[in-house]
Structure 1
């Protein structure tokens, strides 16, 4: 469905003393229909830049991003707008990604009306279906976002992304602002929606445990390069690259004895890398 080949993104420096910055170095990956590709890395690794490049929010310096055979890199704004039905996004913070002055019904109807996806009656019926999909009560349509919890707000954001029946959703750290129990419920919601609709996800996260829970394949990004790429279980349980091993060891475990042993392994790994 989506193919990225040798993608480079560079930011120009500001002022005569400032140097440019290369955020992505020859990044290549693909996303198949009905699949979740987990993209994991620490802050500043370039993972959000990849999502923004797919969405057309940052220009691609070189390389290719093709969606359903169409080249996205350098595509005109009008053509990108036509693709908005097929590519949607769920942002990290549900507190700021929803208009606080709009009711839930208005939030969900807006993309349908903007894309002329039927009349108001058909849009209202679609809203009811969306609320059922994300597990919210029908009376939510009359309420404002501030009346919901963080997990419920993210469900509203997911419903908005689903409104136009997209083929791909870019999920940019969609659970990092939620507590652990809410994270698990929202991740299970993403999985059930994929099973029901067949939508594909690019799931961006800094948490390897979260990515392992939801992804079919995983790409590990480090300083703008993909350093490990493959089946989710292979990458998260039998990592080969030292950076992936560090990410795995940094993930918390509920067993204190196993957690202590993992900390010791991490210290030994860091010491061996320092000696090398």
Structure 2
């Protein structure tokens, strides 16, 4: 069996223009990357860089103009609705906003067991038991099952979202900026939790974020996106220590440091790189 779980080759995604005669807007320009079984690939870039569009294309939420997305050696770039439903057992997602990603009128128990109902997996008793186990795994009490999402903080809601994504034992989770709405301390707890779960289960992540320093901590390899293209791709530590592309250097300099003097120097260097772009 190949170690390659997901392969994206020369992917192009376009959105219709806003006017009758407007040309389509190209969001992705020939993007290629791969994700190996059990690894984390970081996808980093500023807002509008195309990183979320790539995640949506993998999930079947953005139409592919050309190129391919292969999962387990099979092209899924134009999969039917039925095929996508089956694929959702293997490919799950954790969305950015923990406040809108959970149905506010459903109990936590119903939110967690819904994927099992959709795929008709196990009995109702099995589903409730698994929901309780996974809640505890993400450091939430079993008593949360009977409560509503509004009763929890942002960090707690994101833990619940992680538990939901694990209910069907996926092989790949698209993490679409899962910590950007959280404070720094909570970010560290959530990323540590994701890393622990990966070691236990062997799940792979595509971790999408705008913070390169954060992405380096959790990822083995990193792809840097700029204007719909991958401008740098490779080992996370190598890119962090010796970035080649000016845009990657700007992203690294954008990360704050506690020393005010160093922060001023970094800001000046970042502005110089921006002016040269």
Whether the TM-score (by the shorter chain) exceeds 0.5 is: yes
Deviation at 1:69, TM superposition (A): 1.1
Aligned match of 2:142: 138
**Residue number in structure 2 paired with 1:176:** 180
Equivalent positions of 1:215-234 (< 5 A) are 215-234=219-238
Superposed, 1:59-98 pairs within 5 Å as 59-98=63-102
Where structure 2 has 5 or more consecutive residues not aligned to the other structure, the ranges are: none
Counterpart selection for 2:106 from 91, 102, 105: 102
How far the C-alpha of 1:108 sits from its partner, in A, is 0.5
Shift, 1:197, TM fit? 0.7
1:114 aligns with 2:133: no
Does 1:56 find its partner at 2:60? yes
User: Could you tell me how far 1:246 is from its partner in structure 2?
Assistant: 0.6
**TM-score, reference length from structure 1:** 0.96
**In the alignment, does 2:258 pair up with 1:254?**
yes
> Deviation per CA, 1:89-136, whole angstroms, max 9, x where unpaired?
000001000011111111101111221110011111111211122110
More moved, 83-92 vs 131-140? 131-140
Residue 129 of structure 1 corresponds to: 133
Provide the aligned length of Structure 1 versus Structure 2.
273
Q: What is the alpha-carbon distance in structure 2 between the residues aligned to residue 161 and residue 172 of structure 1? A: 12
Stretches of structure 1 that go unaligned for 5 or more consecutive residues are none
Q: Distance in 2 between matches of 1:77 and 1:114?
A: 14
CA positional deviation for 1:266 = 2.1
Structure 2 length-normalised TM: 0.96
Q: How many angstroms apart in 2 are the aligned matches of 1:110 and 1:170?
A: 19
Structure 1 window deviating more from structure 2 (50-59 vs 6-15): it is 6-15
| Structure 1 residue 269 displacement after superposition | 2.9
Distance in 1 between residues matched to 2:259 and 2:198, nearest whole Å = 31
Aligned partner of residue 143 in structure 2, secondary structure:
helix
Distance in 2 of aligned mates of 1:127 and 1:16: 49
Candidates 28, 42, 62, aligned match of 2:32:
28
CA distance in 2, matches of 1:111, 1:15: 39
1:194 corresponds in structure 2 to: 198
